[in-house]
Amino acid sequence: MFGKVRLGLSIALLLSIFGAAYAAEAPKEIKLGTLYASSGRFASISMPVHYGLKLWIEQKNAEGGVFIKAFNKKIPITLVAYDDQSNTATAATLFNQLITQDKVDLLVSDSGSVLTSVGVPIARDNKMFLFDQTGTGSAFFTPDNPYIALMSDPVSSVWPKPLADFITHDGKSLGIKRVAMLYSTNDFTGTQATAVRKFIKEAGTDVEFVYDQGIPTDTTNYAVLINNIRAANPDAVIHLGYAPNDIAFIHSLEDGGVNFKFLFCIYPGLETELLEKNLGVKPLNYIFTYVTSSEIEYEPNFGMKLKEYKELWNKKYAGGNVEFGFNSVAGYNTGLVIEKALSVAESLEQLEIRKAVFSLSGKLKTLDGTFELDANGAQLGMSTPIGQISVDDHGHIKFVTVWPHDVANGKPVYPRP
Amino acid sequence: MLTYTLLAGLLFGLYFTLIGLGLNLVFGVMRIVNLAHGDFLMLGAFLAFWLFSLFAINPIPTIPVAFIVFLLVGFPLYYLIVPRLLRAKDPEMLSFILFFGLSQVIQALATILWGTSERSIPGGQLGRAVAAILSFVTGRTVENGPVDIFGQSFPAAWVASGIASGIGVLLVYWYLYRTKLGYLTRAVMVSRDEAIASGIDVDRISAIAFGFGLGLAAVAGVFAPFLLGSITPAMGAEVTITSFAVIVIGSLGNPLGTLLGGLVYGISYMFMQSYYSSWANLLPYLLLIAVLLLRPSGLLGRQTRRA
């Protein structure tokens, strides 16, 4: 009897020793796999996101790594990053490579909906949780896919609500009834166009669409399109495209001497420096846009403030060819969400990581705003008010927030002088 | 709307004529496809961008500078690459691979030097120069801004590129049909072997044609920030594909075919943008397939390529 007890105790002791040893066997590194586009159509939105994420990794590694609750210690992060050259086919191959060959612990998408779109099914099929940095296409977030969450930007089906609300509420008093919309047909701006249409229709006002056209994302020439919009005599023009689309569109307006009474574009607010470099300040004056976290000082409860981050960015990438903007903030924000999630995740199992990320919803506030997910991983926080660009006497760009009224700091100028 | 679309198509088509001219000339003389053509255009575009950014030089005076610089770059590049290529068994096919490689190298170097972001030149710059020229020519003050053509208003840059393209076409014809060098060039275009047998310095003639092709690409590049919205180091491949479609539609090796191909492309593109905008970018490929199926030698093609 005594012998059996001693044997049992010995086994229990051995199990506890080896069990503890096994549980404490922390990896030497955490592999973070991601893609970026150093060339092609999406380079200007991809590189700032990538640089922002890299900045976070370098910062954490300088501190000895990121704290992992599952191992109760800091572990350095190894970045495995491939260049998809803005090509979705290449991106699909590289997503597979990150998962099956490199066996990364954390999978982070490239920037934007187009390059993220190919990663969503691959991540789901391989049961890898995808940290979707800025891919806001609403089709990515479905009840049957638990392996995704959007880090920055509201999902595109929600994002343009302030714009539609501004047009149907304040627009009425301004005299906006006839709206023209030109959008690029991709997951990002295509979804935004659908949402604008839906919100305006639901408002039940007498606002009507007098022009509503989709164009390929790689459109570079807008002269005929602008002439057709002008022929429709709209009170307001909404252009939904990526940064190169906005540059070409505004360039074409300026060159053609066309001035719409109200013009909304996405990227003057998201990548202000880039657009200013390309177009100068005058063509941007009075354009309506989203006012993002690269302009608004949010009060974070985790990570640094915008001002500190911008200083760090400028120090790190001074004289570089990548401009500071919303995407620079978004990349760093992804790092902050990862850091916070790893500090609460019980293990590095993918569904446990998901659980940890979702546990931050509504609680985490970074320099990018409040992190808030719906049940499918779509971002509902990180909202962007509607603002109008105002160029001061010194040629500096300022944003006058006009909607929602509770955050507005000025009145819209309409029609555009 | 119809008139505007048609005129815009003509101007846009003329721009793609300008792009295609150099590519077609190189193919006509050497029977090689310069897949780096769009990258030379990109380099011309960045030359204009930097001259404007650093020294505030208007793009109009940049045009002759770009042409001469790239004409001169073309000579050593020809002797470095092309004679070896032409000694191969299948130079036409090998040229695809070699110039694709060159395109990648140029793109990578440009990315390292200038980054990945879009760059552009404010449109008013070209408008100002056009207004000054028009004022000088007409003797009355012309305001900086869009130019009226048949009651339709177009960006000054479009008109300037249309004029440059017209000059480019005339220059190529003058060179081919009014100069001794052009006479020799046409001889090489008809038969390289017979030209060698006749004692023509084929390499010299080809080097000039190669430089001429690059020069025309660089001139087209000066207009790229205005016609294509912005420029990036990666823009070359797309431009090459479209211009290749343009010269195949017109007829490979025939400069007049390039003009026709450019106009067909430009006008069709603008009508597609007006009426089926979502499908507009498919157009060069649809036209290419249609022409290859119905008239494989191109709209102005003959059984024997003409010089």
Residue-wise pLDDT for A256-279, tens only, equals 889 999 999 999 999 999 999 999
Q: Which residue of A has its CA nearest to B229?
A: A248
Tell me the fold of A161-292+385-403.
Rossmann fold (3.40.50)
**For residue A333, what are its two tokens?**
């924000």
On chain A, the residues whose CB falls within 8 A of the CB of B127 are: 255
For residue B168, is it within any domain? yes
State the Cα–Cα distance between residues B152 and B157, nearest whole angstrom.
15
Burial class (CB in 10 A: 0-12, 13-18, 19+), A343: middle
On chain B, the residues whose CB falls within 8 A of the CB of A36 are: none
Opening angle at CA B160, ends B156 and B166, nearest 5: 145
For residue B245, is it within any domain? no
Task: Identify which of A213, A223, A243 has the shortest CB distance to residue B158.
Answer: A223
Distance from CA of A131 to the nearest CA of B (A): 24
Residue-wise pLDDT for A309-319, tens only, equals 999 999 998 77
- Average pLDDT for chain B: 90
For residue B277, is it within any domain? no
pLDDT of residue B304: 45
For residue B39, is it within any domain? yes
pLDDT band at A5 (very low <50, low <70, confident <90, very high): low
State the Cα–Cα distance between residues B128 and B130, nearest whole angstrom.
5
pLDDT of residue A7: 54
Q: Please measure the distance between the N-terminal and C-terminal CA atoms of chain B and give it in whole angstroms.
A: 39
pLDDT of residue B284: 79
B5 at A interface, C-beta within 8 A: yes
pLDDT band at A19 (very low <50, low <70, confident <90, very high): very low
State whether B232 and A254 contact (CB < 8 Å): no
Q: Which residue of A has its CA nearest to B8?
A: A224
B16 at A interface, C-beta within 8 A: no
pLDDT of residue A8: 54
A47 at B interface, C-beta within 8 A: yes
A132 at B interface, C-beta within 8 A: no
- How many domains is chain B built from? 1
% residues pLDDT > 70 (chain A): 94
Question: Who has greater pLDDT, A331 or B112?
Answer: A331
Question: Who has greater pLDDT, B153 or A133?
Answer: A133
Residue-wise pLDDT for B2-59, tens only, equals 899 999 999 999 999 999 999 999 998 998 999 999 999 999 999 999 999 999 999 9
Task: Identify which of A85, A224, A321 has the shortest CB distance to residue B270.
Answer: A224
State the Cα–Cα distance between residues A152 and A134, nearest whole angstrom.
5
For residue B207, is it within any domain? yes
Lowest mean pLDDT among A232-236, A297-301, A397-401, B29-33: B29-33
State whether B229 and A322 contact (CB < 8 Å): no
Dihedral of the alpha carbons of A365, A367, A372, A378, in degrees to the nearest 10: -160
Please answer whether residues A199 and A161 qualify as being in contact, where contact means their C-beta atoms are separated by less than 8 angstroms.
yes
Q: Which residue of A has its CA nearest to B53?
A: A277
State whether A255 and B127 contact (CB < 8 Å): yes
State whether A227 and B8 contact (CB < 8 Å): yes
State whether A220 and B234 contact (CB < 8 Å): no
On chain B, the residues whose CB falls within 8 A of the CB of A190 are: none
Lowest mean pLDDT among A19-28, A81-90, A278-287, B52-61: A19-28
pLDDT of residue B1: 77
Domain range A30-152+297-370, its CATH number among 3.60.60.10, 3.90.730.10, 3.40.50.2300, 3.40.1710.10: 3.40.50.2300
Same fold, A30-152+297-370 and A161-292+385-403: yes
State whether B1 and A228 contact (CB < 8 Å): yes
On chain A, the residues whose CB falls within 8 A of the CB of B233 are: 39
Distance from CA of B124 to the nearest CA of A (A): 7
On chain B, the residues whose CB falls within 8 A of the CB of A251 are: 120, 123, 225-226, 229-230
Burial class (CB in 10 A: 0-12, 13-18, 19+), B92: middle
Distance from CA of B187 to the nearest CA of A (A): 39
B119 at A interface, C-beta within 8 A: yes
pLDDT of residue B142: 76
Residue-wise pLDDT for A364-384, tens only, equals 999 999 999 999 999 999 989
User: Which of B107, B161, B230 is best to mutate for the A interface (most A CBs within 10 A)?
Assistant: B230
State whether B234 and A243 contact (CB < 8 Å): no
Which residue segment(s) compose the domain that B64 sits in? 22-235
B237 at A interface, C-beta within 8 A: no
On chain B, the residues whose CB falls within 8 A of the CB of A254 are: 122-124
% residues pLDDT > 70 (chain B): 98
- Average pLDDT for chain A: 92
Evaluate if residue A21 carries a pLDDT over 60: no
How many A/B residue pairs have CB atoms within 8 Å?
136
State the Cα–Cα distance between residues A108 and A98, nearest whole angstrom.
10
Cis peptide before A415 (omega within 30 of 0): yes
Evaluate if residue A4 carries a pLDDT over 70: no
State whether B226 and A251 contact (CB < 8 Å): yes
User: Which of A220, A229, A275 is best to mutate for the B interface (most B CBs within 10 A)?
Assistant: A220
Q: Three-state SS for A34?
A: strand
Chain B neighbours among A 271-330 (CB < 8 Å)? 274, 277-280, 283, 320-323
% residues pLDDT > 90 (chain A): 86
For residue B56, is it within any domain? yes
Q: Which residue of A has its CA nearest to B115?
A: A321
A249 at B interface, C-beta within 8 A: yes
State the Cα–Cα distance between residues A405 and B5, nearest whole angstrom.
42
Burial class (CB in 10 A: 0-12, 13-18, 19+), A265: buried
State the Cα–Cα distance between residues B75 and B94, nearest whole angstrom.
20
